[in-house]
Amino acid sequence: MSTRQQVTHSLRETVRAGESWMLDSRKASYGVAVLRIGFGAILAVQLAVTWPDRHLAWGAGRSFAQGRVDTDDFPAALDALFSGSSPGVLFDLQYLLLLALAVALMLGWRARLVVPLVLVGYVALVRTNPFIGDGGMQLMRIVLVYLLIADTSGRWSIDARRRERRHPGESRARLGWPGTLLHNTAVLLIAFQIFVVYVASAMYKIQGGLWQHGSAIYYVFQLDEFSTWPEVTAWLSGSGTLITVLTYSAVFVQLFFPFLLLRRGTRVVALVAITGMHLGIGLLMGLMYFSLTMIAIDAIFVRDVTYVTVSTRVARWWRERRARRRAGISPPGAASAAEEHRTTVPADA
């Protein structure tokens, strides 16, 4: 084969692989389901926890923020929702409706309808108080827009169950290839968006003297607003080496995140490290919603086969545990446990 033939051949192969990726199956179908469940849960928990504070956060009591709401870029039509001047009962009803929608999102009930409703409700709610906000809120808004075109309830949802019950054994992919194309485009957009978040925030950190010096995390821990667990952060701040390791790993894990995904071994390292980082930030700095939002989005980078393996295993473990409970027998010995893992084969690897 001549060089030119070889190049055209491999180009054609690449194009074909790309076409197949985009059109033949819905990518990250479990990951997107986890993302949907995560977003629903995060939003529901936030709304529930903030319920006692809801009027100060987004209701009549946030009148101090109205000047910024009046001058923001969002369409004026959104003013109708969560208006500061509407009666408290109406506000409460809207709030509870959004909470119910968040739960519906989590359960995957009528997701094609619920996702746009959640997006509108969420944007309308959080824009009413720009003084409450963090990167997680920006990101949830953006990713919800992408989810408009994704098949979020293809797995682990009431929708999927209902479809299975009505048409057992049939392909679950509704809307045919256009649905698949849109879903995969959404997956691409979400992945790109999270890459931008990680790489950009790392690139901006690189420019800072405290990040270079390796003491940035120490300063964050000293602030009133992030002193959620002052005892723990004071203890962590004692060791200069620990602070430097935390500071540098925060930068490098974010900076290299997209490319660490390229290979299985490094992907596992990247996902474990970044999840650990988010949990640390969430717990120690009181930024749990932000952290959970990031973790939910990172879920799309875990392959479907991994989700299937894990869920099969968990399901079997649960069944066996129940069976043992019922029969009242003691746990099986080491020998049968060793045998058990040999037979663990992913269902549709």
User: With CB under 8 A as the contact rule, which of the stretches 19-27, 102-110, 157-165, 167-175 interacts with other proteins?
Assistant: 19-27
Residues 133-152 close enough to bind other proteins by CB under 8 A: 133-135, 138-139, 141-142, 145
Distance linking the first and last C-alpha atoms of the chain:
35
Q: Which residues of 158-180 are buried (b: 16+ CB within 10 A; e: fewer)?
A: ebbeebeeeeeeeebbeeeeebb
Task: Choose, by CB under 8 A, the member of 4, 5, 71, 168 that binds other proteins.
Answer: 71
- According to the binding rule CB under 8 A, does residue 103 interact with other proteins? no
Least distance in angstroms from the C-beta of 282 to other proteins: 8
> How is 174-207 classified by DSSP, letter by letter?
TTHHHHHHHHHHHHHHHHHHHHHHHHHHHHHHHT
Total of chain residues touching other proteins, rule CB under 8 A: 117
Task: Choose, by CB under 8 A, the member of 110, 117, 120, 256 that binds other proteins.
Answer: 256
User: With CB under 8 A as the contact rule, which of the stretches 27-35, 100-108, 160-168, 285-293 interacts with other proteins?
Assistant: 285-293
- According to the binding rule CB under 8 A, does residue 107 interact with other proteins? no
Task: Choose, by CB under 8 A, the member of 25, 74, 97, 245 that binds other proteins.
Answer: 74
- According to the binding rule CB under 8 A, does residue 123 interact with other proteins? yes
Residues 78-97 close enough to bind other proteins by CB under 8 A: 84-85, 87-88
User: With CB under 8 A as the contact rule, which of the stretches 28-36, 95-103, 159-167, 192-200 interacts with other proteins?
Assistant: 192-200
3-state DSSP helix/strand/coil percent for the chain, to nearest 5? 75, 0, 25
Q: Which amino acid is at 152?
A: T
In this structure, what is the dihedral angle of CA atoms 203, 208, 212, 217, given to the nearest 10 degrees?
-100
CB atoms inside a 10 Å sphere around CB 326:
8
- According to the binding rule CB under 8 A, does residue 216 interact with other proteins? yes
User: With CB under 8 A as the contact rule, which of the stretches 29-37, 95-103, 159-167, 175-183 interacts with other proteins?
Assistant: 175-183
- According to the binding rule CB under 8 A, does residue 269 interact with other proteins? no
Task: Choose, by CB under 8 A, the member of 7, 8, 25, 68 that binds other proteins.
Answer: 68
- According to the binding rule CB under 8 A, does residue 220 interact with other proteins? yes
Task: Choose, by CB under 8 A, the member of 113, 200, 245, 349 that binds other proteins.
Answer: 200
CB atoms inside a 10 Å sphere around CB 312:
15
- According to the binding rule CB under 8 A, does residue 218 interact with other proteins? yes
Residue closer to other proteins by CB (options 65, 111) is 65
User: With CB under 8 A as the contact rule, which of the stretches 17-25, 30-38, 98-106, 107-115 interacts with other proteins?
Assistant: 17-25
- According to the binding rule CB under 8 A, does residue 241 interact with other proteins? no
Position of tokens 């509870």? Answer: 96
Q: Looking at beta carbons, which pairs linking 244-253 to residues 24 or more positions away fall under 8 Å?
A: 244/214, 244/215, 246/217, 246/280, 247/210, 247/211, 247/214, 247/215, 247/216, 247/217, 247/218, 248/214, 249/273, 249/277, 250/205, 250/216, 250/217, 250/277, 251/202, 251/205, 251/206, 251/211, 252/202, 253/277
* Residues in the chain, overall count: 349
